[in-house]
Amino acid sequence: MKKTNIYLDYAATTPLDPRVLKIMLPYMKDKFGNASSIHSYGQEARKAVVEARETIAKLLDSEPEEIIFTGTNTVSDNLAIQGVAKVALKQNKNHLITSAVEHHAVLDVFQALRKQDFKITILPVDKYGTVSLADLKKTITKKTALISIMYANNEVGTIQPIKDISKRVRKVRGSSQYPVFHTDAAAVVDYLELDVKKLEVDLMTLGAHKFSGPKGIGLLYIKKGTLIEPITYGGHHEQGYWPGTEPVALIVGMAEALKLAFKERSLVKKKVTQLRDRLIKGVLSKVPQTQLTGHPSKRLPDIASFVFSGAEGEAILLHLNDQGIAASSGSACTSGELKPSHVLLAMGIKPEIAHSSIRFSLGKKTTKKEIDYLIKVIPDIIKNLRKMVPKL
Ligand SMILES: *Cc1c(COP(=O)(O)O)cnc(C)c1O
C-alpha cells in the first residue's frame, strides 16, 4: 500500500518550485563566478545579481539600492532591529516597541537589546492576536527609535493593521526620522500585498524558503534615508550591510520565486482559502471541544490553527505523522522545548490549553483530497488521545 504523504506545514517551509530550481542550476554549475571578480566569470555572476535585484525591486515597488540580500528572515530581522538601534542610541533614542506575538527572530533581538541600553515595550494583543493601535499610540515617546510589528502571524495567521500603524508612525514622526517602522513579512509573501509604497514601511523582512524559493537567502528592504548601520563587517557586498561573497544561485532563485508568487498570487490565494475553510469547517464540526485560534476573518489564507483541549500537541503531531500527515504544534521553532507557544499565551489562552495546539498550513500543492483525508482521520486521533489524559 502506498503511504500517504500530506504536507500541511508550508508555514515552516515550502518545497522548492522546480521552475526556481531550473533557473538556479546553471549558477551552481558553469556560472560559478564570484560576482566581485573582474573577469568574465565574475561579470556573468554580477549581471545575474543585478538583474535579480532589479526584478525584486520592481515587484516590491522600490529601488534596487533599497534591496539588501541577507542570509534569511532571521538575519534581516536582526539587521533591521539592531542596525537601527545602533544609530539611534547615539542620538539618545533608546526606546524600542514590538508586539508579544512576534517570531523569536524579532522577540529575542529585543530581549538581547533590553540587556544593553534599551527600554523595551512589548505590546499586548487581544484574544485574536491583534495589536491595538490605541496601545501603540500610548507607548510611542520622543525616545522611540523603532517599532517592529509583523505583517501577519506565522502561528495563528492573524494579520496586523500594518497600514494603520505606518500612518500613525508617519504622523508622530513629522519632520524627524524617528520612530523607524519595520515589519517582518516572512509569513505573507504568497498571499498579501507587498508594495512598500502602499504599506509605507521603512524596513521589511522577507525570506525565500517561505515562498517556494531556496533556503539560506532573505532580503531586507531599507527605504532610502533610513538611519541604519551594519551589524556585521567584512566587505563592501550589499552596501556593507551583509558582507561576504554573494550566493548567486540563491539570489537568482529568490527573484524567480518572488516573481512566480506575485504572478500566481490571486489564483493560489483563492484556491488555498477555499481549502482552508473546508479544513476549518470539517475539523470544528467533527471534533468536539475544539477551537480555532487567531482572527476569524483577518487571517492568512494558508493557516488553520486549533487547540484540541485535553489532547497534547506533540502527541497529536506524532499520530498525524503515522497517518502520513505533516503539521506543526503552533511554532516549529519552540517545539522540542515543550513550552506552550508564546503567541497563544499572549492571546490569553491558558497554558494547559495552549499545549494542545496544532497548526495546519496549506500551500500551492494542497488538494481537496488531502484535506478530506485529514478530516477523516483526525477525530479518532483526538478522541483516543483525550481518553489517555486523566480527567481533572
Ligand atoms: C519563518 C519566519 C521567520 C524565520 O525565518 P528563517 O528563515 O528561519 O530565518 C521569522 N519570522 C516569521 C514571521 C516567520 O514566519
Residue of 49, 46, 69, 66 lying closest to 57 (CA atoms): 66
pTM of the model: 0.96
State the pLDDT at residue 32: 97
Pair 302, 10: CB distance under 8 Å: yes
Nearest CA to ligand 1 atom 5: 73
Q: Is the CB of 154 under 6 A from ligand 1?
A: yes
Tens of pLDDT, residue by residue, the chain (392 residues): 456 799 999 999 999 999 999 999 999 999 999 999 999 999 999 999 999 999 999 999 999 999 999 999 999 999 999 999 999 999 999 999 999 999 999 999 999 999 998 999 999 999 999 999 999 999 999 999 999 999 999 999 999 999 999 999 999 999 999 999 999 999 999 999 999 999 999 999 999 999 999 999 999 999 999 999 999 999 899 999 999 999 999 999 999 999 999 999 999 999 999 999 999 999 999 999 999 999 999 999 999 999 999 999 999 999 999 999 999 986 444 455 578 999 999 999 999 999 999 999 999 999 999 999 999 999 999 999 999 866 55
pLDDT of residue 1: 46
3 state SS of 188? coil
- Does 74 sit in the ligand 1 pocket, CB within 6 Å? yes
Q: Is the CB of 361 under 6 A from ligand 1?
A: no
Is 281 catalytic? The answer is no
Whether the ω angle into residue 64 lies within 30 degrees of 0, i.e. cis, is no
What does the alpha-carbon distance between residue 211 and residue 186 come to, in Å, rounded to a whole number? 9
Expressed in angstroms and rounded, the spacing between residue 152 Cα and the centre of ligand 1 is 11
Phi-psi region of 287 (alpha: psi -120 to 50; beta: other; left: phi over 0): beta
- pLDDT at residue number 389: 66
Q: What are the cell numbers at 160?
A: 496586523
